[in-house]
Structure 1
Amino acid sequence: MKKVSIIDVAKLAGVSVSTVSLVLRQKGKISEATIERVHSAINELGYVHNVAAANLRSNTSNLIGLILRDFSDSFSIKVMASIVKELERQGFMVFLGQPQDDQQHLERCLLSFKQQGVAGVIYLASDATTDRLPEQLCQYPLPLVVVSQALPEQPCNLVMRDNRQAASLATRHLIERGHRNIAYIGGMENDRVRHQRLLGMHGALKQNGLALRDEFTPACLESTHSVSVATRQLLEKNNTITALLCHSPTAIIGAIGGIHQVGRTVGKDVFLTQQVALIGFEDMLHVNLTSPSFTYVSSASEETGRQAAGLMMRKLKEPELQTQRITLSGQLVIQQSA
């Protein structure tokens, strides 16, 4: 059987070969009627567009390298899904790399990207304890977009969450509900996301004439057991606390255990002294299948992915585009826990 060519498509559609090429590459100003005729001819003939060959001829690529360092980070996973969805909508495909934390693995990943001919790289940073990007990324010759929850020191094309805004929003909500003794539980001492949220929490408390006490912000390991122990100790020493901001999904689960261990319950009624209100910073569908459902400040993960993909598209179209920094705010989703 003869292989169908782009010439066959052009003949059936009644257009030039260059017009078919423009339609396939989604370039140029082509009328909707012409685009429809071309696609109709493609479907009728069963033509398969060889993207790799076309990329070689035009010295372009429809591949984007995506680096995800931590598959256990729920925010990064949600952002990745959104990035892939948006890039595919734009006619691009994702080449996924998951290097380990050492320099050699990252170098091999970036080399593999070059060999595959990616047009640019999106880096999902998950280490909240450093303000430095890996040096190999800073020296990489292709367009780079960074997605991070903590602000990198180096200038780069960046999409990030506004953690100060998220904590301020959550704290103001609790104050409006009558809470005056609000604590923050979870996160390591050197966690930069934790630090940003504490700044937002402190600002909201200060605006309302309240102080943030050091003993109300215990740091601990990121495990349910560690958070449970820290929560129990916190509430035993400070029984006036009526609300907790929880650093992570793990912190929420651990905090529930600690609250129950001191004979208190989760709930938003500040006038029932045995209740402790909880607010998280990510939607936790697996926890919200239980009662009560948890109030949280959305992580804006889907919008983060769309913005990161969109920024990469702009960098590819305009290589001289100035470095951009996009900061996204979360929305408060009020449910039963606060």
Structure 2
Amino acid sequence: MKKVSIIDVAKQAGVSVSTVSLVLRQKGKISDATIEKVQAAMSQLGYVHNVAAANLRSNTSNLIGLILRDFSDSFSIKVMASVVQELEKQGFMVFLGQPQDDRASLERCLLSFKQQGVAGVIYLASDTTRPTLPELVRQCPLPLVVVSQSLMEENCNLVMRDNRQAANLATRYLIERGHRSIGYIGGQVDCLIRQQRLQGFRSALVQSGMVYKEDSAPACSDDTHAASIATRQLLEKNNTLTALLCHSPDAMIGCINGIHQVGRTIGKDVFLTQQVALIGFEDMLHVNLTSPSFTYVSSASEETGRQAAGLIIRKLKEPELQTQKITLSGQLVARESA
């Protein structure tokens, strides 16, 4: 069967080859009627536009390399989905790489991107203990946008979550509801997200004339069992606590268990001393299937993805664009737990 060419499409539509080319590249001033004729001809003939070949001829690419190292992180997965959706709207496709946590694997990933001819790279940072990027990413010669869950000390195009703002917002909400003894559960000591949230937590307490106590914010491993033990021990040592900020979804689930183990319940009534209010830092649909539903500060994952996609496209269109740093604030969603 003969392969349908752009010449065949032009003949079928009754237009010039250059007009068909302009329609395919979405360039020039072509009337809607002409565009419809060309598209109808392509449909009738079964013409398939070879984007890769066209990109090669014009020395352009509609491929964006996306690096995601941690598929277990719900925030990164949501950001990835938002990035892909937004880029596809703009005519771009995503080439996904998942290098392991070693230099050789990352090097192979970046080489693969180069071989596939990607136009730019979006890097979803997963190491929450380092404020800097891997050297290979920092030296990437392609247009680069970094997405980070924590504030980073890097001079690059960056989209970040504002963990200080999120914790400050959550703490002020609890204080306004009458809580005067508030704790923070979870996150390992060297976790930057934890450190930044504790800064926001502490500042909200100080602004309200309250005292921050180190022992009210125990660190623990990122699993439900560790968070359950930390919660139980904290509540046993300080039975005046009426509210907890939960570092992660696992910490939230662990907190529930720890609260029940000491004979207390979950709720927002500060005057019922057996109740403990809980606030998380991202929507946890698997937890909210139960009662009570949980109050949380949104992670802004979808907006993060949109901003990252928009920034890489702007960088491709304007190579001299100054370095952009976008910090996204979370919104508090009040439900039954606080």
- What is residue 267 of structure 1 aligned with on the other side? 267
1:13-67 Cα offsets, whole Å, 9 max, x none, are 3333233223222333433333222222221221100111111111111111100
- What is residue 228 of structure 1 aligned with on the other side? 228
Once residues 83 and 301 of structure 2 are traced to their aligned partners in structure 1, the CA distance between those partners, rounded to angstroms, is 10
- What is residue 285 of structure 2 aligned with on the other side? 285
1:302 matched to 2:306: no
- What is residue 87 of structure 2 aligned with on the other side? 87
- What is residue 191 of structure 1 aligned with on the other side? 191
1:133-175 Cα offsets, whole Å, 9 max, x none, are 0101111110010000112222010011111111111111111
Task: Give 1:73 deviation, angstroms.
Answer: 0.5
CA contact under 8 A between 2:151 and 2:162: conserved in structure 1?
no
- Unpaired runs of at least 5, structure 2: none
CA contact under 8 A between 2:189 and 2:219: conserved in structure 1?
yes
- What is residue 17 of structure 2 aligned with on the other side? 17
Q: What is the aligned-residue RMSD (CA, Å)?
A: 1.1
- What is residue 173 of structure 1 aligned with on the other side? 173
1:260-279 Cα offsets, whole Å, 9 max, x none, are 11100111111110000000
Q: In structure 1, the residue corresponding to 2:21 is in which secondary structure? A: helix
Once residues 18 and 211 of structure 2 are traced to their aligned partners in structure 1, the CA distance between those partners, rounded to angstroms, is 68
1:99 matched to 2:99: yes
Equivalent residue pairs, number: 338
- What is residue 73 of structure 1 aligned with on the other side? 73
- What is residue 214 of structure 2 aligned with on the other side? 214
TM-score normalised by length of structure 2: 0.97
1:104-125 Cα offsets, whole Å, 9 max, x none, are 1000110111111111110000
1:151 matched to 2:156: no
Q: In structure 1, the residue corresponding to 2:209 is in which secondary structure? A: coil
TM-score normalised by length of structure 1: 0.97
Task: Give 1:212 deviation, angstroms.
Answer: 1.5
Once residues 25 and 261 of structure 2 are traced to their aligned partners in structure 1, the CA distance between those partners, rounded to angstroms, is 62
Once residues 331 and 284 of structure 1 are traced to their aligned partners in structure 2, the CA distance between those partners, rounded to angstroms, is 15
Structure 1's 192 and 28: CA in aligned 2 closer, same or farther, altered over 3 A?
Answer: farther
Q: In structure 1, the residue corresponding to 2:245 is in which secondary structure? A: strand
Q: In structure 2, the residue corresponding to 1:188 is in which secondary structure? A: coil
1:241 matched to 2:237: no
CA contact under 8 A between 2:181 and 2:240: conserved in structure 1?
yes
- What is residue 200 of structure 1 aligned with on the other side? 200
1:179-233 Cα offsets, whole Å, 9 max, x none, are 1111111001111111111111112222211121111111111111111100001
**Percent identity of paired positions between Structure 1 and Structure 2:** 80
1:255 matched to 2:255: yes
Task: Give 1:91 deviation, angstroms.
Answer: 1.1
Q: Write out aligned runs for 1:90-169 (5 A).
A: 90-169=90-169
Once residues 206 and 184 of structure 1 are traced to their aligned partners in structure 2, the CA distance between those partners, rounded to angstroms, is 15
Task: Give 1:4 deviation, angstroms.
Answer: 1.3
Once residues 27 and 199 of structure 2 are traced to their aligned partners in structure 1, the CA distance between those partners, rounded to angstroms, is 47
